[in-house]
A = this chain, B = another copy of it.
């Protein structure tokens, strides 16, 4: 596979830190150089805390990576611009190298680090240094840093979301922290390893760790390893401490790389003919694989991964619609665990529906660990809070509820996982159908059920009525209610469950409504994104433009008053439910909406690429796909430092799987319809209904 080299000459360190994030789905550390201070500590999957503005957010936990070298009390610091960070995606290793300097001399510094793929509680790094032009006593400090906090908005505001419960530097370095809301405990332990010098535990107000000094001559190489255990339970801490104590860094590295190589082999990804595309896709695939902790029942997948603060670690529809297919076909257990996150949050979703005067379950637009609405509503733009921005998606972007139901159905369709449906899947299907039956309103004039006052996937237009995507998915959600109720009649295990959740009468009502949901499609074939859309002034995005930056200023300031859209909306609906539309209609709508899309959301390009592939416009599709796949390596959206674009990276796979590979259900059986991309060959192994299938394009 491919190793990625990032130089601080070419990119900012904050960008590189996102790209070189290492995770095993449990622990995550950004790729900040360990030899410098950083505001980024450690993320532990699922560890959130109450916070101003954002309800709950991922906690920036103590920083475990630092390695500080000093001479006569003076820090060695990397020469700016000389930092090289390498990410080896085959083995899951980040390498760092730099020249460090002090007023006394320079030294060559190299390190490697891993977040262990199978020993989920273990982070380890090893470093070597040798003086270039001096001899002297170099001191090494290996701290866990306690001074990190969460950067909020405006960026001058920081919130410390954990407190120290216990810290012990007498024997080992032991640390026990607790989130400020007292919900989560996180334990740390550290071990130092070196044949070259003795290291002893120490602590300070802001750190705890190991230190030691050694007299070194020019070119004498010193090697030290730092191993940190991170756990949410003391028993796990002890388990992994035993392992880390017994195993050297080299031994840990071996088991780690073996596990990664095995994983890549399983996936069997081969790309030939387009080296750039290959680089993008391996890179994205690596990061997607990193996000899943197969030891956890529940897979909470933040929109920006565990790679940064972006969206504060919240989960969006991206997870269910854009990311789930990747895991569904490569790691079905991960897809299941993603849905189990929704299951865990079902009670909160029911409360949310009730609170909004609806029935059933309403999933929140953004959610954290507890499943309550976590979308910020008023975000201050300056220190006094006199300038704010109002965010209405939490209230209005309601299609998320249908998206979750869609994902449950997709999962069942391609896994046949009866147990999941019995335990929770049916509940989600019925409760969400029930939500929509209470959310729609009968419109006499239209003789149809309408859904008023929403925001669709195109977030430019707010407070709209009958958004195509929302109405279509809501209709589908109601149909799923009917479908699964009918299925439950044929299955002994399901019947009782279904009858406990709903009734023949209610399901009849769902059927009746679903048949009469209003879809704003015109006789000319164009489906209006929402009622009134086509009455807005028209404008087309300059060709090849991604985002809003190349719009004329006057347009940019008035986007909501034009037909410009942020991302695939009508086309997302049509692609997700393609069996409901003939290809000509889809093509016609594509050609209408695509030129009017700014792609300011990173979810846009993958979805359009998927549509093009489905329409057989393979070359066009591949062109978009490649662009979409470059989102993070190419910093396409200018905000890589905030985290990895999970939905976009997985969306590229969605386009490959459902578009290019043409995975679909035919006569109730999954089948493929692979498309050929000229000059590019791709192959990979997917799992469908428990069967391994090699896909070749």
Contact = CB atoms under 8 A, between A and B. Distances in A.
Interface of A: 36-37, 49-53, 55, 70, 72-75, 77, 102-103, 137, 139-141, 147, 149, 152, 156-161, 180-181, 200, 202, 204-206, 211-213, 380, 382-385
Contacts of A212: 72-73
B157 A52 contact: yes
Contacts of A157: 52, 152, 157-159
A139 B72 contact: yes
A77 B204 contact: yes
Contacts of A160: 156, 158
Nearest to A138: B73
Given A72-B213, A152-B157, 6 more contacts: A50-B382, A52-B157, A73-B141, A74-B202, A156-B159, A161-B383
A141 B70 CA distance: 12
A12 to B, nearest CB: 15
Contacts of A50: 382-384
Contact of A384 (B51, B103, B149, B156): B51
Contacts of A206: 37
Contacts of A37: 204-206
Given A74-B211, A204-B75, A212-B73, A383 B52 contact: yes
Nearest to A49: B383
Contacts of A77: 204
A103 B149 contact: no
A183 to B, nearest CB: 12
A694 B206 CA distance: 54
Nearest to A158: B158
A220 B137 CA distance: 22
14 contacts: A36-B205, A37-B206, A51-B384, A53-B385, A70-B73, A73-B73, A73-B211, A75-B202, A102-B202, A149-B158, A152-B157, A156-B160, A158-B158, A181-B383
A367 to B, nearest CB: 15
A496 to B, nearest CB: 41
A226 to B, nearest CB: 15
Contacts of A205: 36-37
Nearest to A103: B200
Contacts of A74: 200, 202, 211
A74 to B, nearest CB: 5
A384 to B, nearest CB: 5
Nearest to A140: B73
Interface pairs A-B: 5 shortest CB-CB: A73-B139, A37-B205, A50-B383, A72-B213, A73-B211
Nearest to A139: B73
B147 A156 contact: no
A71 to B, nearest CB: 9
Given A37-B206, A384-B50, A211 B156 contact: no
B380 A52 contact: yes
